[in-house]
């Protein structure tokens, strides 16, 4: 018996969401009285043994070169086989882009019930029940898993891992899979925090009038080390790139702080951001629906208010 955690990496670097699942998986292992092990695929530059500080005892590393980029079919096969070899009864993934591709395949392969989008530790007092987000952030469901093996995909930014100290034993895992999906090009926005991993997000809507006015949004994001986002009409009008679009039909994010500037707060926009811990709304219309979902609000013209905010942050940061 064990808990097996999938560590997701990109270009050899372990993703932030992987630390969350490591801590989460270790907590699940403690809860059900077993040990936590982890698996990582592809070449990794970061030190794996030190991940023991999150509470995992062993890390299986399949470092075949053909696993450097994610192929859901090959990854699922390797992970499912490792799960069987280690006798895992719970598998933990991040519900990030890769987790969404791999976890369902592993679930189907092992006939193991999946909870995708988990937001809390399982309740094992009566069966195995996991809380997850449903209705695009507007509600939660408690899902009861009926199978001997369980698969959990944890929503990013919904679990704070505890660091305990300790090192993990790293063992090499031989594989013989042949990925069929070939990655031919990667187009990553460099020098910016990826939106899905960002703890702070500054977002702009149609109230900003045009792409030429995004300088003040970018300034604030830069000062805070935040990512930038936008409402759908802004992406539709090509003022901002598609991947910045958040909401029901765009990305769904859960940062610690979401600053919305010139966004009305339509229900479809809120669906993508209402899991944010603190929401700040800056809008010139006191009736804007966003204020109802906000923690802090300023009724005012963004073109007057935002430069002053940027100045205050600059002072605060001593920049």
Partner 1 sequence: MKILVCISKTPDTTAKIAFTDNNTKFAQDGVQWIINPYDEWYSLVRAIELKEKDAATVIHLVTVGAADSDPIIRKALALGGDEAIRVNADSHDSFYIASQIAEVAKQGAYDIVFMGKETIDYNGSSIGGMVAELLDRPYVSLATKFDLNGTVATINREIEGGEETCEVSLPVVVSTQKGMAEPRIPNMKGIMGARTKPLKVQEPIAVDALTQIASFELPPAKAGVKMISADTPEELVRLLHEEAKLI
Ligand X SMILES: Cc1cc2nc3c(=O)[nH]c(=O)nc-3n(C[C@H](O)[C@H](O)[C@H](O)COP(=O)(O)OP(=O)(O)OC[C@H]3O[C@@H](n4cnc5c(N)ncnc54)[C@H](O)[C@@H]3O)c2cc1C
Alpha carbons 12 and 8: distance in angstroms, whole number: 9
272 binds ligand X (CB under 6 A): yes
157 Ramachandran zone, left/alpha/beta (phi>0; psi -120 to 50) = left
Residue 253 CB, nearest distance to ligand X (Å)? Answer: 11
283 binds ligand X (CB under 6 A): yes
279 binds ligand X (CB under 6 A): no
Residue 269 binds which entry of partner 1, ligand X, none, CB below 5-8 Å type-dependent: ligand X
Alpha carbons 268 and 155: distance in angstroms, whole number: 19
Contact 80, 110 (CB under 8 A): yes
Collect contacts of 127-135 with beta carbons under 8 A, ≥24 apart: 133/275, 135/271
Residue 240 CB, nearest distance to ligand X (Å)? Answer: 11
Residue 217 binds which entry of ligand X, partner 1, none, CB below 5-8 Å type-dependent: none
Residue 148 or 162: the one with the smaller Cβ distance to partner 1 is 148
Contact 202, 228 (CB under 8 A): yes
* 203: nearest Cα among 281, 297, 274, 266: 281
Contact 54, 37 (CB under 8 A): no
233 binds ligand X (CB under 6 A): yes
Residue 32 binds which entry of ligand X, partner 1, none, CB below 5-8 Å type-dependent: none
Residue 145 binds which entry of ligand X, partner 1, none, CB below 5-8 Å type-dependent: partner 1
Residue 219 CB, nearest distance to ligand X (Å)? Answer: 16
Site string for ligand X, 239-268 (x = CB under 6 A): --------xxxx-----------xxx-x-x
297 binds ligand X (CB under 6 A): no
**Tokens 């670097």 — which residue?**
13
Residue 84 or 268: the one with the smaller Cβ distance to ligand X is 268
Number of residues that bind ligand X (CB under 6 A): 26
Of the chain, the end-to-end C-alpha distance in Å amounts to: 52
Going by DSSP bridges, is the β-strand pair 227-230/200-204 parallel, antiparallel, or unpaired? parallel
Residue 232 CB, nearest distance to partner 1 (Å)? Answer: 9
Residue 288 is given by DSSP the state: -
Contact 106, 168 (CB under 8 A): no
Site string for ligand X, 185-224 (x = CB under 6 A): --------------------xxx-----------------
- Rule CB under 6 A: which residues touch ligand X? 205-207, 231-234, 247-250, 262-264, 266, 268-269, 272, 282-285, 288, 301-303
């Amino acid at each position: 018996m064990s808990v097996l955690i999938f560590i997701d990496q990109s270009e050899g670097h372990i993703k932030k969401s992987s630390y969350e699942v490591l801590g989460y998986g270790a907590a699940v292992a403690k809860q059900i009285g077993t040990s936590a092990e982890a698996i990582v695929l592809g070449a990794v530059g970061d030190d794996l043994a030190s991940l023991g500080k999150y509470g995992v005892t062993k890390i299986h590393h399949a470092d075949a070169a053909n696993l450097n980029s994610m192929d859901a079919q090959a990854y699922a096969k390797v992970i499912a086989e490792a799960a069987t070899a280690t006798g895992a009864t719970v598998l933990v993934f991040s519900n990030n882009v890769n987790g969404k591709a791999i976890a369902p395949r592993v679930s189907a392969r092992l006939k193991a019930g999946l909870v995708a989008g988990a937001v809390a530790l399982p309740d094992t007092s009566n069966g195995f029940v996991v809380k997850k987000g449903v209705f695009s952030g507007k509600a939660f469901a408690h899902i009861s898993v009926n199978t001997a093996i369980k698969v959990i995909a944890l929503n990013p930014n919904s679990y704070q891992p505890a660091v305990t100290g300790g090192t993990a034993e790293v063992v090499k895992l031989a594989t013989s899979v042949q990925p069929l999906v070939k990655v031919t090009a990667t187009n990553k926005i460099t020098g910016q925090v990826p939106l899905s991993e960002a703890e702070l997000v500054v977002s702009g809507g149609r109230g900003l009038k045009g792409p030429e006015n995004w300088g003040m949004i970018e300034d604030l994001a830069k000062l805070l080390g935040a990512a930038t986002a936008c409402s759908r009409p802004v992406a539709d009008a090509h003022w901002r790139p598609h991947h910045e679009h958040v909401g029901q039909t765009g990305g769904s994010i859960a940062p610690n702080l979401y600053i919305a500037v010139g966004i009305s707060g339509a229900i479809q926009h809120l669906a993508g951001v209402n899991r944010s811990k603190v929401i700040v709304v800056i809008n010139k219309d006191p009736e804007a629906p966003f204020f109802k979902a906000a923690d802090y609000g300023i009724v005012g013209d963004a073109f007057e208010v935002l430069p002053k905010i940027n100045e205050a942050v600059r002072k605060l940061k001593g920049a």
